[in-house]
Chains A and B, each alone.
Chain A
Amino acid sequence: MALKIVKGSIDRMFDKNLQDLVRGIRNHKDDEAKYISTCIDEIKQELKQDNIAVKANAVCKLTYLQMLGYDVSWAAFNIVEVMSSSKFTYKRIGYLAASQCFHEGTDVIMLTTNQIRKDLSSPNQYDTGVALTGLSCFVTPDLARDLANDIMTLMSHTKPYIRKKAVLIMYKVFLKYPESLRPAFPRLKEKLEDPDPGVQSAAVNVICELARRNPKNYLSLAPLFFKLMTSSTNNWVLIKIIKLFGALTPLEPRLGKKLIEPLTNLIHSTSAMSLLYECVNTVIAVLISLSSGMPNHSASIQLCVQKLRILIEDSDQNLKYLGLLAMSKILKTHPKSVQSHKDLILQCLDDKDESIRLRALDLLYGMVSKKNLMEIVKKLMLHVDKAEGTTYRDELLTKIIDICSQSNFQYITNFEWYISILVELTRLEGTRHGHLIASQMLDVAIRVKAIRGFAVAQMATLLDNAHLLTGNTQRNGICEVLYAAAWICGEFSEHLEDPMQTLEAMLRPKVATLPGHIQAVYVQNAAKLFATVLRKHDGETESQAAQETSQLLIDRLPLFVQSANLEVQERASCILQLVKYIQKLQQKNVEVAEEVTALFAGELNPVAPKAQKKVPIPEGLDLDAWINEPPSESESEDEKPKAVFAKEEPKHSRSRHTEVDEKELARRREVRKQEQANNPFYIKASPSSQKVYDAPGVEHIPVVQIDLSVPLKVPGMPMSDQYLKLEVERRQKEKAERKKKEKKKKREKRGKERKADSGPESEEDITPAHQVDIVTEEMPENALPSDDDDKDPNDPHKALDIDLDKPLADSEKLPVRTHRPEALKSPAEDRDSESVPQETKKKSGKEKKKDKEKDRKRSKEEKKKKKKHKEVEEELLESQPEEAVQSEETKEAAAPPTSTSAEEVTAPSSAAAAVDTSSAAAPESEPDEPKDTEPEDTKSSKHKKKKQKKEKEEKEKKKKKRHHHHHQHHSDAGGEDSVQNGTVEEEEPLPPMSNYSLLAENSYIKMMKEDADQVYDIQGNHQDESKVVVSVIFENKSDSFLKSMEFNVLDSLNSKLQRPEGAGAHDSLTVPFQLPPGVSNEARFVFSVQSIIMPQKLKGTLTFIVKSDESSTHEKLDFKLHFTCTSYLITTPCYSDAYAKLLESGDLKGSSLRLEGINMPFHHLLARICFHHHFSVVERIDSCASMYSRSIQGHHVCLLVKTSDQTVSIDAKCDEPSLLGNVLDEIKQTFSKC
């Protein structure tokens, strides 16, 4: 052994260390690769040795080689070995190597879990630190899951050094294991107020990073951050917070208003440029979010612009850059205030720094107007000529095109000028953007009808001079414009002066050197030109010209027929045969022109780029559905869908669909027309709507007559400049004329009073030189408007969009390593993991209790915090007016009253309650199950409004999960609530509704039962047995501690309480919590039910121990559980056509019910039925509605509800008459109560 160590250290002495390796590499500059490969061989030898020091040295060298680009993943296992050394020195080397080269695909990472866990809990803080640092670089979902709990514990470590690292790494853990976010969040929030500034900064960092991606979930932290902002002096933290506010304000305008003042103060007081800059940025964000309704916000804008100007004028290039960057943000909402600094920005275009020039270009984009477009583009064209690098020049080119084409060519008054600009741009050498120019040419020529003549002439010239563009085709992207030129000349050939010449140009042999797709266009459009030529000479008998043209084609086309490009070849040979045939006919003196022209008749309309994506999926078409059933694994699976198809597919809905579609089509067409009529940028064909052109004096505008003989290049002066000059002249003339008229008018009116011409002319004064008809792009009929096209579905942050204000649930606890499997599950948990049969062991009960207690403590803390912070929040927001919220409500109310409307009707009230309970209820159960609590009257209702957004979300989630919980826990305050919860469908507010009913009560305890509405249908396993979950709220009314609560029910034949495996049929269930005085909590019990067509009543007993200071007594409370038939219904949305089909099928039996003396609004009535009886509205027409629900065993229940003067008649159909009868009875009861 001793010998081995000695041998090891001797070996080590002869080994190269990192320094030797580096020196060696530097000395072998000529044969570096060879030298390194010998080094790698040595390293491989070293790694084979047992001595950890040698190994660590080798790994250290590998890390260096990794930097040079060598793959060292083969040594991953050795790295793990070094990581697990007990010596800090080696451990650090190992972790460094791992952090450099491990990633999610590294398989040995699995082996590290225990080592890392050991290091995390090491008594040496640096072992822990090194492990945390390393882990932050290679954490995988598995590691995150397994270590989340350990890291969370470290967040409360005694050493701030560890705390801050643990806090930071949590972000990585969240990303990889989103489930950990909710359990860890309370502690993370605590760290915002950590005494150590480093830890605080880390927490701010993590929360900012989280909030940036999903800001709405962090709105509730705003008051806390507000406090930090006003108290912190750490610029780094301040910057982060201010950036965070920038992300939050768009969601909460009131926050923005609060922020303006402190931010302005900071702007005035701080000396740190970084802070100043971020403040300005956030003020801009605030102003954008407010956009209007702030009296003094022009002052803030002025302040920002003024500060930014100072930055831009600074000699420090960095500040200049950032100033421009921020300026571009202001530009979006307040272009006026930026436009006044045009001089400064144009100046920046001349800057030597490319980044700054690019930023200035961005700004220019937003600064153009009809008035200055030509001028700005001229400046840019000058820069294009001067620009040295191709990247910058390309950038300029795209910017010019962007600027001109923005918002549907809004700013272009003269399209001839624009075409000339495009033609001038084709002279750029080596640009990659030929296709961009080409698409612009096509776009303009197609959409601006008036310009076609001019465009065609220009394109013909381009084609004629094609040789200039195609100098070296291979690397030259500019030849793409020939594609456009050829197409335009062909398509609009009727405008061509001399089609024959163009045709000749298009068939030159040189064309064969162009890329294939361009040749194809050439060939195709040559045919179009041919048709035009024929038509031109139509009527002339024995036209020599026509025959010559045919001959030309026959001579030249064979060149293309031989093309290697299939497309070209195919088109050419088709057209060649066609022309040969035509020639034959011509020789027989047959009139062919008409037929040939007919080949290319019809106009092509522009189609919007998104059109294909926007084609709506026809109703009833499921793109994800199998067309053919995949080979099934089990037959039972196979059977069911088949039946569905057989039933649904054939006769139904076809005819109805098309009918609806046609109606819909007509409607949408109308809407579109309307929209176009209202769109100022859509220049209409009918003169009546053209206000602009009706202005006095327009008729006299000298419209530029284009001399088509003007050569492409005017010597000495680029052509577009000509237009600029003309434009200026034109405008002056126009102005003068207008002045004259005005003067006349004025003279007529008042004689004397004369005002100086007021400054710059307004936008409207500038009239386009051409009357243009900009054709809008076509979209598919009934395309769905949506903006979510560009969301990235792979964004890892999507998974972190988690509501953090809901209380924690048991199931959300971070996985903790345990030695024994958890036993004695509460029924609620049992339900969660039904599929996994668990053994029950009573032994570990104690352990579990401890856990629970801990948990509760934690949750209590959280509760307190939440309360506190809510108060702060209220303070912060109280003083603000509430228009913002109102608008939000109306938005919500405007939601279409389709089948979901009923849900929406009820949801706000229940969701508000859910949010309230979150602060008081112990978080022992599922997060999305709102729990009831003792009434808390002190809750300000304002608070609820604040949470509307979150409610909305919750609603969404609920809808998805198909089970929802509607209850309102303090009905006494309900009236007021509902008013604030907003009006729905512009009708009266809904009265509050509660799904909780009193079960039993004595002086100690009160039991409330929620309608059993979370229901499982487990038909798959047991043919006719279903499970029903009953939530019971236990409220301690006494001053004593209640414990050892046991819940028992006398089973009936039909309904049985689900007991843990191994328990006797009459054993009672332990309620999984204890109740301190005044506290309430909720437990869930699962019942299995066989038949659901009859309501059930079960007798039960709750026994518990009342423990006060002096004594403890054993108490008992009897109750009756009532399972209504309603509780077996699940709210299931149903489409109207499926509904109609269901009724048509004739399988359902009918029954009806009349209710007299109901005087409540119809929508309340529907809402009540939806809420209490789990129906959804299928269709509602005036005072008639069809509703649908499904039982847990798949019975369909359909209702047709009609109302007229206080009488409500309900016609109902269901495939199970007795179920229907019972449901109707229950509905009757509901309404008899009110």
Chain B
Amino acid sequence: MIKAILIFNNHGKPRLIRFYQYFAEDMQQQIIRETFHLVSKRDDNVCNFLEGGSLIGGSDYKLIYRHYATLYFVFCVDSSESELGILDLIQVFVETLDKCFENVCELDLIFHMDKVHYILQEVVMGGMVLETNMNEIVAQVELQNRMEKSEVQVWASI
């Protein structure tokens, strides 16, 4: 199970947070801060797994993260997930973002948090991996966007 997915930038500013277990808002912020603190002090050439995020889960949980340019993508998972599998999944997610936003950058995430959520929803659902095939994910996202557009047109035509 994935317990949380956090995306924040090099300064710890959250760009997307997705908890699959309830935490109150202030607790969420504290988790983000602590996670950022743990992750940010690590060099880029060390391993991508971290134990000891004491706020989430406990000993069974791991932080698995990737660092892309200005953004950290952090997944908090338990031992039922394959570490390398999750790393691949983060890659798939980022590549999907890249396709959907055409050369994704931090600004896309800043201004379109909702869209990023919709894409993530096609990859992970309720803490479990829903789809790992990028083409399938992109296809579903686009179909939904098209539907939204058609609705807007209907709205505009009124």
Binding site for B on A (CB under 8 A): 5, 18-19, 22-23, 26, 53, 60, 63-64, 66-71, 87-89, 92-93, 96, 100, 103-104, 124, 126, 132-133, 136-137, 161, 164-165, 168-169, 171-172, 198, 201-202, 205-206, 208-209, 212, 235-236, 239-240, 243, 273-274, 277-278, 317-318, 320-322, 352-356, 358
| Residue in chain B with minimal CB distance to A71 | B25
Q: Are B114 and A63 in contact (CB under 8 A)?
A: yes
| Residue in chain A with minimal CB distance to B30 | A69
Residues of B within 8 A of A205 (CB): 128-129
Task: Select one of B28, B51, B130, B147 contacting A358, CB under 8 A.
Answer: B51
Residues of B within 8 A of A208 (CB): 80
> A240 to B89, alpha carbons, bound, how many Å?
14
11 new A-B contacts at CB < 8 Å, known A126-B143, A239-B85? A22-B111, A60-B114, A67-B113, A96-B117, A96-B121, A168-B130, A201-B132, A274-B85, A318-B48, A322-B83, A353-B47
> A355 to B49, alpha carbons, bound, how many Å?
7
Q: Are B125 and A165 in contact (CB under 8 A)?
A: yes
Q: Are A69 and B26 in contact (CB under 8 A)?
A: yes
Q: Are A277 and B144 in contact (CB under 8 A)?
A: no
State whether the Cβ of B43 lies closer than 8 Å to any Cβ in chain A. yes
> A23 to B25, alpha carbons, bound, how many Å?
23
| Residue in chain B with minimal CB distance to A95 | B121
Contact A209-B84, Cβ < 8 Å, known A236-B129, A358-B51? no
B38-57 contact mask (Cβ, 8 Å, vs A): 1 or 0: 00001101111111000000
Contact A278-B128, Cβ < 8 Å, known A318-B49, A352-B43? no
Contact A356-B47, Cβ < 8 Å, known A53-B155, A212-B80? yes
Q: Are A171 and B143 in contact (CB under 8 A)?
A: no
Contact A69-B51, Cβ < 8 Å, known A18-B114, A88-B148, A168-B125? no
| Residue in chain B with minimal CB distance to A317 | B47
Residues of B within 8 A of A64 (CB): 113-114
State whether the Cβ of B140 lies closer than 8 Å to any Cβ in chain A. yes
Contact A209-B128, Cβ < 8 Å, known A5-B158, A18-B111, A161-B140? yes
Task: Select one of A18, A88, A235, A243 contacting B113, CB under 8 A.
Answer: A18
User: Could you jot down 6 A-B contacts, CB within 8 Å?
Assistant: A18-B113, A19-B111, A132-B125, A274-B82, A355-B50, A356-B47
Nearest CB in chain A: distance from B126 CB, A: 3
Residues of A within 8 A of B1 (CB): 209
Nearest CB in chain B: distance from A493 CB, A: 42
B130-142 contact mask (Cβ, 8 Å, vs A): 1 or 0: 1111001000100
Residues of B within 8 A of A136 (CB): 125-127
Q: Are B128 and A165 in contact (CB under 8 A)?
A: no
Nearest CB in chain B: distance from A1111 CB, A: 57
| Residue in chain B with minimal CB distance to A92 | B118
> A64 to B112, alpha carbons, bound, how many Å?
10
| Residue in chain B with minimal CB distance to A172 | B126
State whether the Cβ of B104 lies closer than 8 Å to any Cβ in chain A. no
| Residue in chain B with minimal CB distance to A205 | B128
| Residue in chain A with minimal CB distance to B45 | A317
> A19 to B107, alpha carbons, bound, how many Å?
11
| Residue in chain B with minimal CB distance to A212 | B80
Residues of A within 8 A of B29 (CB): 69
Q: Are B151 and A88 in contact (CB under 8 A)?
A: yes
> A87 to B153, alpha carbons, bound, how many Å?
12
Contact A198-B133, Cβ < 8 Å, known A89-B151, A168-B126, A172-B126? yes
State whether the Cβ of B12 lies closer than 8 Å to any Cβ in chain A. no
Task: Select one of B51, B88, B125 contacting A133, CB under 8 A.
Answer: B125
| Residue in chain B with minimal CB distance to A135 | B126
State whether the Cβ of B100 lies closer than 8 Å to any Cβ in chain A. no
| Residue in chain B with minimal CB distance to A18 | B114
| Residue in chain A with minimal CB distance to B86 | A274
Q: Are B46 and A198 in contact (CB under 8 A)?
A: no
Smallest CB-CB A-B distances: 4 pairs:
A136-B126, A274-B84, A317-B47, A103-B22
> A212 to B1, alpha carbons, bound, how many Å?
11
Nearest CB in chain B: distance from A431 CB, A: 17
Q: Are B136 and A353 in contact (CB under 8 A)?
A: no
> A321 to B143, alpha carbons, bound, how many Å?
41
Q: Are A321 and B20 in contact (CB under 8 A)?
A: no
Q: Are B118 and A202 in contact (CB under 8 A)?
A: no
Q: Are A209 and B80 in contact (CB under 8 A)?
A: yes
Residues of A within 8 A of B132 (CB): 201, 236
State whether the Cβ of B110 lies closer than 8 Å to any Cβ in chain A. yes
Residues of B within 8 A of A236 (CB): 85, 129, 132
Nearest CB in chain A: distance from B114 CB, A: 6
State whether the Cβ of B17 lies closer than 8 Å to any Cβ in chain A. yes
| Residue in chain A with minimal CB distance to B50 | A355
> A53 to B43, alpha carbons, bound, how many Å?
46
State whether the Cβ of B87 lies closer than 8 Å to any Cβ in chain A. yes
Contact A137-B20, Cβ < 8 Å, known A88-B151, A198-B131, A322-B83? yes
Nearest CB in chain B: distance from A97 CB, A: 9
Residues of A within 8 A of B131 (CB): 164, 198
B67-85 contact mask (Cβ, 8 Å, vs A): 1 or 0: 0000000000000101111
Residues of B within 8 A of A87 (CB): 151, 155
Residues of B within 8 A of A89 (CB): 148, 151-152
Q: Are B82 and A96 in contact (CB under 8 A)?
A: no
| Residue in chain B with minimal CB distance to A236 | B132
State whether the Cβ of B16 lies closer than 8 Å to any Cβ in chain A. yes
| Residue in chain B with minimal CB distance to A138 | B22
Q: Are B140 and A355 in contact (CB under 8 A)?
A: no
B1-33 contact mask (Cβ, 8 Å, vs A): 1 or 0: 100000000000010111010101110110000
| Residue in chain B with minimal CB distance to A126 | B144
Q: Are A67 and B43 in contact (CB under 8 A)?
A: no
Q: Are B47 and A68 in contact (CB under 8 A)?
A: no
Q: Are A239 and B82 in contact (CB under 8 A)?
A: yes
> A352 to B43, alpha carbons, bound, how many Å?
9
> A158 to B29, alpha carbons, bound, how many Å?
41
Q: Are A67 and B14 in contact (CB under 8 A)?
A: yes
| Residue in chain A with minimal CB distance to B80 | A212
Residues of B within 8 A of A103 (CB): 22
Nearest CB in chain B: distance from A15 CB, A: 15
Residues of B within 8 A of A71 (CB): 24-25
Q: Are A243 and B114 in contact (CB under 8 A)?
A: no
> A69 to B132, alpha carbons, bound, how many Å?
30
Q: Are B80 and A69 in contact (CB under 8 A)?
A: no
Task: Select one of B114, B117, B126 contacting A171, CB under 8 A.
Answer: B126
Residues of B within 8 A of A318 (CB): 47-49, 83-84, 87
Contact A355-B47, Cβ < 8 Å, known A18-B114, A93-B114? yes
| Residue in chain B with minimal CB distance to A25 | B110
Nearest CB in chain B: distance from A73 CB, A: 9
> A53 to B158, alpha carbons, bound, how many Å?
14
Q: Are B118 and A273 in contact (CB under 8 A)?
A: no
> A136 to B129, alpha carbons, bound, how many Å?
12
Q: Are A206 and B22 in contact (CB under 8 A)?
A: no
Nearest CB in chain A: distance from B8 CB, A: 10
> A209 to B1, alpha carbons, bound, how many Å?
8
> A218 to B42, alpha carbons, bound, how many Å?
41
Residues of B within 8 A of A18 (CB): 111-114
Q: Are A70 and B22 in contact (CB under 8 A)?
A: no
> A355 to B42, alpha carbons, bound, how many Å?
10
Residues of A within 8 A of B45 (CB): 317, 352
> A1019 to B50, alpha carbons, bound, how many Å?
62
Residues of A within 8 A of B84 (CB): 273-274, 277, 318, 322
Residues of B within 8 A of A356 (CB): 46-47
> A136 to B126, alpha carbons, bound, how many Å?
5
Q: Which of B87, B131, B140 has the most CB of A within 10 A?
A: B131
> A26 to B107, alpha carbons, bound, how many Å?
12
Task: Select one of A96, A124, A239 contacting B114, CB under 8 A.
Answer: A96
Contact A169-B125, Cβ < 8 Å, known A67-B14, A69-B25, A317-B45? yes
Q: Are B46 and A355 in contact (CB under 8 A)?
A: yes
Residues of A within 8 A of B118 (CB): 92, 96
Nearest CB in chain A: distance from B21 CB, A: 9
Residues of A within 8 A of B147 (CB): 88, 124, 126
